[in-house]
Amino acid sequence: MYKFNFRPLSLVLLLLLIGQSSCAELSTSSVGGQFLPSLAPMLEKATPAVVNISSNTKTRVSDNPLFNDPFFRHFFNIPKQKQEEKQSRGSGVIIDARKGYVVTNHHVIEKADKISITLLDGRQFDADLIGLDPETDIALLKVPADRLTALPLADSEHLRVGDFVVAIGNPFGLGQTVTSGIISALGRSGLGIEGYEDFIQTDASINPGNSGGALVNLRGELIGINTAIIAPGGGNVGIGFAIPSNMVNKIVQHLIDFGEVQRGTLGIRIQDLTPDLANAFGLNGKKGALIAEVEPGTPAEKAGLRSSDLIIAVNNKQVSSATELRNHIGLLRIGERVKITFIRKGRIRHLYATIADNNQVEGGDISLYLDGALLKDTSNGIQVYKVTQNSNAWKVGFRHGDMIIGINRSKIRNLDDLTQRFKKYTSRSIQIRREGEILSLRLN
């Protein structure tokens, strides 16, 4: 189980387990001549789609780190080191019974040497990894298509706050457990859990042991993959998060086709429309993603987008923030033509742009974000040893003593490495180590 500290709350990534299949309505049963509502018929049809996932990771055990160096062992004729096997448990959901596809969280099977699943009926299979996407915490597995039951996917665009939901999991290794609640909020983002966030928030009890499981509606349809909780005291407090089924479906299609998500770019830097900016641009009462910069040679420039344009819709789907726009673009395929609706000088306009490969577009200069910070390379990363208050670096979130260790979850060695990798992306997050904790700073 992973723990993320997000000021002022502690976000804990879980290990879940669930299942449900086919459509079923809320049923009633007769008790003492009275009819009482029951979810049992729906759950009886749904739970066979729930799988328990066990992943095993082998690590070398040695008191001396030099013994882990193959060249050192070869030179001194040191035998191969003993290995320690680490096992973690989570959950998954069968989404295609005919092809044997199982979806789970990336962090459930991360770095696993062997992945096994156990069905509700006790059968066990070794699973093959089809692909994974750390940015959304989704992984796709494949097992033999032998008498499987799958969960149908609901359209998460139609969810409403207050809808009843059910979560099924394996909290604390107790075995399959069902909890219920409602949708508490939609479109939660900015939590610092994943690179792309558009979470369903629910008060259905979710605890460590549930990651990768399902959140379902009362018809037994999959509406989300349970991923995280806010746990200030380490236990459930009724604030859990699930990845919406529509996002899961799009990621899964990428993984089936390519084994990874091949994200493209428009080539713009964006920001939320604050009240001050809305007033300055005459956009009071409007919502959207404000373009701060259009990078040269990008699809955005070629299509005709300009700095200070306010993007309000993508492919006719409303956009109310920079995060929403980033999520929409991040799920599109390279080469896909996209309709952009925006406001310029008070008028609503439309244009079309073609999503380009991130690696074929220069992503700009990171110096803008580091302005006001003094840095130096160390053996452990890039140390921030001074930050001017209210500078660009300060506003991004850098503080004295931070150690910059990665970008978009890829390890960086020095400042030159960071600069070069920064240019490859238009959506970036910088990983830093602060007082022993790993934090992520989002850069648009």
Active site residue 107: yes
- Rounded CA-CA distance 211/7 in Å is 22
Cα gap 376→358, rounded to integer Å: 28
Residue 128: CB atoms within 10 Å:
12
The verdict on whether omega for the bond into residue 299 sits within 30 degrees of 0, i.e. cis, is: no
Nearest by Cα to 93 from 48, 128, 157: 48
Under CATH, which architecture does the 1-259 domain have?
A: Beta Barrel (2.40)
Residue among 133, 137, 203, 309 flagged as catalytic: 137
Sign of the Cα torsion 69, 70, 73, 79 reads positive
Superfamily name with CATH number, domain 367-443:
PDZ domain (2.30.42.10)
State the pLDDT confidence band at 296, using cuts at 50, 70 and 90: confident
Question: Which residues in 297-336 belong to E strands, given as ranges?
Answer: 310-314, 317-318
Residue 14 binned pLDDT confidence (cut-offs 50, 70, 90): very low
The per-residue pLDDT for 5 is 45
Pairing outcome for strands 356-357 and 381-387: unpaired
**Residue 95 or 327, more confident:** 95
Q: Strand 2-6 and strand 9-13: pairing? A: antiparallel
Using one digit for the tens of pLDDT, what is the confidence trace for 157-195? 999 999 999 998 776 767 778 899 999 999 888 777 777
Gap between the Cα atoms of 215 and 222, Å rounded: 6
Q: Which of 54, 211, 245, 321 is catalytic?
A: 211
Which is more confident, 128 or 411?
Answer: 128
* H or E stretch covering 74: helix 70-75
Average pLDDT of the residues in 266-286: 86
Give the pLDDT of residue 154.
95
Could you tell me the fold of the domain covering 264-360?
Pdz3 Domain (2.30.42)
Share the mean pLDDT of the chain.
82
Closest CA to 220 of 48, 102, 90, 99: 48
Looking at this protein, which amino acid is placed at residue 237? V
Same fold, 264-360 and 367-443: yes
Active site residue 106: no
Which region, left, alpha or beta, applies to residue 59 given φ > 0 means left and ψ of -120 to 50 means alpha? beta
Residue 127 DSSP one-character state: -
Residues 117, 142: Cα–Cα separation, whole Å: 10
Kindly report the pTM of this predicted structure: 0.70
Per the annotation, the verdict on 410 as an active-site residue is no
How big is the CA angle at 123 (ends 25 and 175), to the nearest 5 degrees? Answer: 60
Which entry of 107, 184, 245, 321 is annotated as an active-site residue? 107
Radius of gyration (Cα) for the chain, nearest Å? Answer: 24
* pLDDT tens-digit series, residues 139-148: 999 999 999 9
Boundaries of every domain in the chain = 1-259, 264-360, 367-443
Report DSSP state, residue 395. Answer: H
Residue % of the chain over a pLDDT of 70? 81
* Dist. CA 206–CA 8, nearest whole Å: 20
Count Cβ atoms below 10 Å from residue 18 Cβ, excluding itself: 32
For 308, left (φ over 0), alpha (ψ -120 to 50), or beta? left
* Residue of higher predicted confidence among 285 and 234: 285
